[in-house]
Amino acid sequence: MRELSNVEVGSFVKVQILTAEGLLRERMLAIGLTKGVEVEVVRRGPSGDPTVYNIRGAMIALRQGEASLIRVS
């Protein structure tokens, strides 16, 4: 497994584990980041942060620190 923040643009991965806690974990679950969901890495910001992900048809921007709390395969 690797962190979502380390996945290349254009890749598709599946969520395995969320290591976030508290309100951040609740936010991630609310936007559909649950175990087994497929995530596409769409593009990175001009400075490399944030990154836009396609999660269940919605384009969601996550900062590198947030994406590093999501383990994918």
pLDDT of residue 62: 96
Residues in Cβ contact with 14 at an 8 Å cutoff, skipping those fewer than 6 apart? 36, 37, 38, 39, 72, 73
Mean pLDDT calculated for residue range 4-31: 96
pLDDT of residue 48: 86
pLDDT of residue 4: 96
Superfamily of domain 2-72: Ferrous iron transport protein A (FeoA) (2.30.30.90)
pLDDT of residue 71: 97
Answer yes or no: is pLDDT of 65 > 90. Answer: yes
How does pLDDT run across 19-60, given as a tens digit for each residue? 999 999 999 999 999 999 999 999 999 988 999 999 999 999
The full set of domain ranges for the chain reads: 2-72
Sign, Cα dihedral of 5, 43, 37, 25:
positive
